[in-house]
Amino acid sequence: MGFLALFGFIPLIHIIIHNPPRLAAKWAYVSSVTANLISLYWIGLNTGAPMWVSMLSMAGAVFYLGIFWAAFAALISFIHRRTGKGLMAAPFLWVAIELLRTFGSLGFPWINLAVTQSTYLPVIQMLEITGTYGVAFWIILVNAALYGILVSDDKKVSSALPIVIFLLPWVFGGIRLWMWNEPSGEKVKIAIVQPNVNAVDKWDQSKRKGLFSLMDSLHEEANALKPDLVLWPESALPTYLRTNTATRRPIMKRIKASGIPLLTGIPDKRTDASGNIRYFNSTIFLKPDESQTMYTKLKLVPFGEFVPLSNVLSFLDKFNIGLMGNFEHGGTYTVFEMDSLKFSNMICYDSSFPSVARAFVGKGAQFLTIQTNDGWWLHTSGAYQHFELARLRAVENRVPVVRSANTGISGYFHPTGSHDGKIGFNEQGIVLAEITPPNQLSFYARFGDAFGWLMTLIYFGFIGLGWARKS
């Protein structure tokens, strides 16, 4: 239903244009809280935390995110009252707001407007140049143009303008897809494993033996497909696999016998120089030669995996949320090597940040894997939103993206955003992904958020014009 975004902002634009900044901000805040409550209700259903913590997290998220819509409304109202150019400035400011929202410990690009268009493949082809900000710019521009036509008495303004603006991405994307050539080179085969284990049961001591037996049988089944790599989901086994040699031994035995490496998500703990135990959400890459390479999650979920400011206010570090407590951020963009190929992995929330995927590709990753456990939020829209974010990362960087989720949705995306196979939510299974690494980097992979920063710079021009004009 992403087409609704193309005119859904018109009522809010009307309010912003016809009210002073303070009143415009108030109604935009109400709009944002309403919209984000509908989109992000699943945060409050986190089965890995007490109900009051989950509901508080959801409320905190929607009320926090409302600040950005309120700021958007106040600034556009200000510009329109000073210059009459509010409609023109709106797409530029929206991009600036989305860009700003990615920074800091509370960064949250999950709900960038581009995700509303993710299934319209022609439209999202622009991501290879503009990133997600190009789609957001287009959506707000279409809304502003439609509203302008509805209220304008200027005969010079053609009613065809919104139609032309609407069609541009479809035409560009259609041509881009038509001209797309699959990269040359050997295909890489990856066996994606989805165990479909209840997220809470996974940490139940009485069920550990059954879980280990299940993962072993799925491992054997995956190896039978003769892949180049076996991919398990986030925290596939409830054990510190890096240091637990007894648990790792039978897994390594199967890896050595098959000659097929395994990438699995694991919890990890390390003792620092002060004797304090630090916990991490990590990935371990196990190869037949018994070598192992680690990656630690860079972007942790605020109030789900860590408490913001706990590194400054030490007493917050003791505030345990859910089953695992307070994790530490990783700091290294790890690139794994598999024969002549290089790839990188993102864990869960990592994949919602375009900058993370781009950094991996910039360091030489020829394809990306994602490990996640979306089962904490039951069968809700969160799992589907998260799956679509992987599609955006594939198109932005023009690299294949392969995704393993504990309870779903697992699958893989080609550089165009299309996919050939996936395992649905609450299903157990294995799918064999066949991908071809790219021959060259996309514009976005090379230059990042250049479009976003350019739109932000142009918006500051509108602000300068607004200050220069007398009330």
Give the 3-state secondary structure of 258-279. Answer: HCCCEEEEEEEEEECCCCCEEE
Does residue 290 register a pLDDT over 80? yes
Chain mean pLDDT for the chain: 90
* Cα 71 from Cα 22, distance rounded (Å): 10
CATH superfamily of 188-438: Carbon-nitrogen hydrolase (3.60.110.10)
Can you give the pLDDT at residue 47? 80
- DSSP-assigned beta bridge partners for residue 403: 370, 411
pTM, whole model, 2 decimals?
Answer: 0.91
DSSP conformation letters of 365-428: -SEEEEEE-GGGG-SSHHHHHHHHHHHHHHHHHT--EEEEESSS-EEEE-TTS--S-EE-TT--
Lowest mean pLDDT among 13-17, 254-258, 286-290, 462-466: 462-466
Rounded CA separation 65/32 (Å): 7
3-class DSSP state of 190: strand
Residue 14 corresponds to which tokens in the numbers above? 């009307």
In this prediction, residues 128-141 reach a mean pLDDT of 97
Q: Between residues 313 and 323, which one has the greater pLDDT?
A: 313
Lowest mean per-residue pLDDT among 138-142, 240-244, 301-305, 449-453: 301-305
Model confidence pLDDT, tens digit, residues 44-87: 988 877 888 888 889 999 999 999 999 999 999 998 988 888 88
Delimit the domains of the chain by residue range. 2-180+448-468, 188-438
